[in-house]
Chains A and B, each alone.
Chain A
Amino acid sequence: MSNQPVVLEVKNLKKHFPIKGGVFKTTQGYVKAVDGISFSIKENETFSIVGESGCGKSTAGRTILRLLEPTEGEVWFNGENLYDIKKRAFRKKRKDFQLIFQDPYSSLNPRMTVQELLVEPLLTHDLCSKKEAIEKAKEMVDRVGLSEKHLSRFPHEFSGGQRQRISIARALIVHPKLVILDEAVSALDVSVQSQILNLLIDLQEEFELTYIFISHDLNVVKHLSDRVGVMYLGQMMELAKTDDLYKEPLHPYTKALLSAIPNLSTTEKKERIILQGDVPDPSNPPSGCPFRLRCPAAHDRCVTENPVFQEVKNDHWVACHLYDEK
């Protein structure tokens, strides 16, 4: 995996939402949802972004796909900066990028049958004739574990897991290169969740896909991903290969996050780090390191200076003064 070429490179991506208020709706501040994150993703890799709610992981996903216009930064995909492409021209590119959402109940149009749902993206991107599109739809439902008889049904006739299969089929039918899965299995029950995860892994191999997997579920992330980035308050705190991150987390936040997962063994008791307080308000983040208010290892330098995100070991990046040699 490590010698695969890089397909996507995110450089210093920022997305700030203005807060409007007052009589004249003037801008009174910014919510820095994503505040300067950088990473690169290799071909056929699964890169996960984890973090708690409000850390900016979903905004990051959407901004990469230009569903939200970025405030600053660059996203290079196959040697092209996506943000330099004109809006109209970018529409043609969209078929290379697909997004699968968390809630399969609200992401499928309830008035369209499965066939209409699957044929629509093919026709929108003008990829084939309607007849071929229907053929492709038939192949695709079969591939995601549904059958042809489901094609004439409406989304409400399916269970959550089946709906997520339809969402997956709809995303993959245009043969994208990059798929962003935004909490794609979070709404599903355990027994169904594992079916969908297996399906995603199989399809990745078959269609040679690159995944960005956005989730708050650390167990699922561990299972699925090659590398993981941990976000907190709009910034990337740590990024490493999955095994390295789970075995030897460096950042105090990652350590606390991993220790907070309820463990599933009756014999070994896990030493738990319980963080104090809540995630700070993103419109009014603390000075210096965003995590310092809850960090058990915070010291003077953390108050004044935001740590630099740097590589401290082989392919293991962290933003923390504890690992800064200076």
Chain B
Amino acid sequence: MESLLELKDVSIDFQSKRKSFNIIKNINLKIDRKMKYGIVGESGSGKSLTSLAVMNLLSDNLSIGQGEIILRTEEEKVLNHLSKKAMRDVRGEDIAMIFQEPMTALDPLYTIEYQIIEVLKYHRKMSKKEMREKAIAMLTSVGISRPEKIMDDYPHQLSGGMRQRVMIAMALITEPKLLIADEPTTALDVTIQAQILDLMNDLTEEHGTSILMITHDLGVILETCDRVAVMYAGQVVEESTVKNVFDNPQHPYTQGLLKSIKTLGDRSEKLYSIPGNVPTPDEYQELGCRFATRCPFAFDKCFSEEPPAFQVGADQTSKCWLHDEEANPNE
């Protein structure tokens, strides 16, 4: 079966009057139907940009330099070549998105009813009454106990968890094929996070929606996703099933990240930490691996030549020279 969303060699460049540089480099992802796919990375790794690129929402100084973003619903569409008008039809209908901060994503000047129905107005031919009924049904299914009352409320009257539920209701009301969730629970407390993740799992199962989950929290990935791509400095460094990545990480960055989390709580050991800082885009090395300066295993080749994504095992790729038997000095 062909995948629902495919990113082929996508690169994103930044331009300003004075300088320009590459931020995202050669991203390849495949999201199948009904799959829950996670992108995990630290701040500045480019995970949010990737999701914005899919939605064609990049700001003016950013552009997709090369590559194709292909969405396969009834027909095949190359999203980054679509006209603005055609893209509007895709947003909300085929792909919906929820954001980290539900307070800024909801318009404070309109009631919840207006904002939910707005999606239907654009995408569906329905009477006002039908739209209202559908909105209430949707709010009920996201676990809001008195939907009729909430419909007339303004966003500031709701708590953070409720707002995020409203966002999910808005996103799923057109039954999109793909839901992009950009840090959907980061602004929420743990007990509310558990509620929301649970809800997202149930709803997407029910509607057969694929999820692209963007987060910095490996725990959230493990709870919700089937496959995961680990991003570092604008590149996917490792990609596989969640189980493989957690139990058998191949890339030194993933290994370090997991080690630093797993030693947390074990006070007998010193907490493992990756030395140095996440580089900013203007510090990215032209040549070589972008992680080389912080990598404990780096050798000469890492600084001179960029590693390709090596196939490790049946279903795992890792972008590291250590997997190349000829290059690796330790083997």
A residues contacting B by CB (< 8 A) are: 52-53, 159, 161-162, 189-195, 197-198, 201, 216, 218-220, 222-223, 246, 256-257, 259-266, 272, 274-275, 278-279
A243 to B136 CA separation, bound complex (whole angstroms): 46
Q: Mark B157-169, 1 if CB is under 8 A from A, else 0.
A: 0011110000000
Closest chain B residue to A242, Cβ basis: B267
- Once the chains bind, are A266 and B278 in contact (CB under 8 Å)? no
B contact residues around A259 at 8 Å (CB): 194
**A264: contacting residue among B43, B262, B270, CB under 8 A:** B262
- Once the chains bind, are B264 and A189 in contact (CB under 8 Å)? no
B contact residues around A246 at 8 Å (CB): 265
Beyond the given A53-B189, A194-B273, A266-B242, please list 16 additional residue pairs across the A-B interface where CB-CB is below 8 A. A52-B189, A162-B277, A191-B260, A195-B273, A198-B273, A257-B190, A259-B194, A260-B190, A262-B217, A262-B219, A262-B222, A263-B223, A264-B222, A264-B262, A265-B246, A275-B195
- Once the chains bind, are B219 and A264 in contact (CB under 8 Å)? yes
A contact residues around B75 at 8 Å (CB): none
| Minimum distance in angstroms from B20 CB to a CB of chain A | 22
- Once the chains bind, are B264 and A219 in contact (CB under 8 Å)? yes
Query: Counting CB contacts under 8 A, is B315 at the interface?
Result: no
B contact residues around A52 at 8 Å (CB): 189-192
**B278: contacting residue among A159, A194, A223, CB under 8 A:** A159
B contact residues around A198 at 8 Å (CB): 270-271, 273
- Once the chains bind, are A223 and B264 in contact (CB under 8 Å)? yes
- Once the chains bind, are B271 and A223 in contact (CB under 8 Å)? yes
If the complex has contacts A162-B277, A223-B271, A266-B247, are A190 and B257 also in contact, measured as CB distance less than 8 A?
yes
The residue in A190, A246, A259, A265 that gathers the most chain B C-beta atoms within 10 A of its C-beta is A190
A223 to B272 CA separation, bound complex (whole angstroms): 12
A275 to B270 CA separation, bound complex (whole angstroms): 34
A246 to B217 CA separation, bound complex (whole angstroms): 21
| Minimum distance in angstroms from A103 CB to a CB of chain B | 13
Q: Mark B253-292, 1 if CB is under 8 A from A, else 0.
A: 0001110111111110011111101100000000000000
- Once the chains bind, are B219 and A191 in contact (CB under 8 Å)? no
**B267: contacting residue among A159, A161, A223, A272, CB under 8 A:** A223
Q: Mark B196-224, 1 if CB is under 8 A from A, else 0.
A: 01100000000000000000111110110
A contact residues around B257 at 8 Å (CB): 190-191
Query: Counting CB contacts under 8 A, is B193 at the interface?
Result: yes
- Once the chains bind, are B278 and A190 in contact (CB under 8 Å)? no
Query: Counting CB contacts under 8 A, is B101 at the interface?
Result: no
A198 to B277 CA separation, bound complex (whole angstroms): 15
Closest chain A residue to B219, Cβ basis: A262
| Minimum distance in angstroms from B217 CB to a CB of chain A | 7
A198 to B272 CA separation, bound complex (whole angstroms): 9
| Minimum distance in angstroms from A253 CB to a CB of chain B | 9
| Minimum distance in angstroms from B277 CB to a CB of chain A | 5
A266 to B220 CA separation, bound complex (whole angstroms): 12
Count contacts between A and B, CB distance < 8 Å: 111
If the complex has contacts A191-B42, A262-B222, are A218 and B190 also in contact, measured as CB distance less than 8 A?
yes
If the complex has contacts A191-B273, A260-B190, A260-B193, are A274 and B42 also in contact, measured as CB distance less than 8 A?
no
If the complex has contacts A222-B265, A223-B264, are A264 and B218 also in contact, measured as CB distance less than 8 A?
yes
B contact residues around A195 at 8 Å (CB): 273, 275
- Once the chains bind, are A261 and B264 in contact (CB under 8 Å)? no
A162 to B192 CA separation, bound complex (whole angstroms): 31
Interface magnitude class on chain B: 35 or more
If the complex has contacts A189-B43, A194-B264, A272-B194, are A263 and B271 also in contact, measured as CB distance less than 8 A?
no
- Once the chains bind, are B216 and A190 in contact (CB under 8 Å)? yes
A257 to B216 CA separation, bound complex (whole angstroms): 20
| Minimum distance in angstroms from B184 CB to a CB of chain A | 13
**A189: contacting residue among B42, B247, B272, CB under 8 A:** B42
A260 to B194 CA separation, bound complex (whole angstroms): 6
**A191: contacting residue among B190, B191, B220, B274, CB under 8 A:** B274
| Minimum distance in angstroms from B10 CB to a CB of chain A | 24
- Once the chains bind, are A261 and B278 in contact (CB under 8 Å)? no
A265 to B265 CA separation, bound complex (whole angstroms): 14
B contact residues around A201 at 8 Å (CB): 271
- Once the chains bind, are B271 and A194 in contact (CB under 8 Å)? yes
- Once the chains bind, are B191 and A263 in contact (CB under 8 Å)? no
A264 to B243 CA separation, bound complex (whole angstroms): 11
Closest chain A residue to B220, Cβ basis: A262
| Minimum distance in angstroms from A187 CB to a CB of chain B | 9
- Once the chains bind, are B278 and A192 in contact (CB under 8 Å)? yes
The residue in A259, A261, A275, A278 that gathers the most chain B C-beta atoms within 10 A of its C-beta is A278
B contact residues around A266 at 8 Å (CB): 222, 242-243, 246-247
**A194: contacting residue among B160, B242, B260, CB under 8 A:** B260
B contact residues around A264 at 8 Å (CB): 218-219, 222, 246, 258, 261-262
- Once the chains bind, are B262 and A197 in contact (CB under 8 Å)? no
| Minimum distance in angstroms from B254 CB to a CB of chain A | 11
A contact residues around B246 at 8 Å (CB): 264-266
- Once the chains bind, are A189 and B278 in contact (CB under 8 Å)? yes
B contact residues around A261 at 8 Å (CB): 190, 219
- Once the chains bind, are A275 and B222 in contact (CB under 8 Å)? no
Q: Mark B240-256, 1 if CB is under 8 A from A, else 0.
A: 00110011000000001
**A216: contacting residue among B190, B223, B261, CB under 8 A:** B190
19 A-B pairs with CB atoms under 8 Å apart are A52-B189, A52-B191, A52-B192, A190-B42, A190-B260, A191-B256, A197-B271, A198-B270, A201-B271, A219-B264, A259-B194, A261-B219, A262-B223, A264-B218, A266-B242, A274-B195, A274-B198, A275-B195, A278-B162
Closest chain A residue to B259, Cβ basis: A194
| Minimum distance in angstroms from A61 CB to a CB of chain B | 18
B contact residues around A220 at 8 Å (CB): 264
A69 to B225 CA separation, bound complex (whole angstroms): 47
| Minimum distance in angstroms from B256 CB to a CB of chain A | 7
Closest chain A residue to B43, Cβ basis: A189
| Minimum distance in angstroms from B272 CB to a CB of chain A | 6
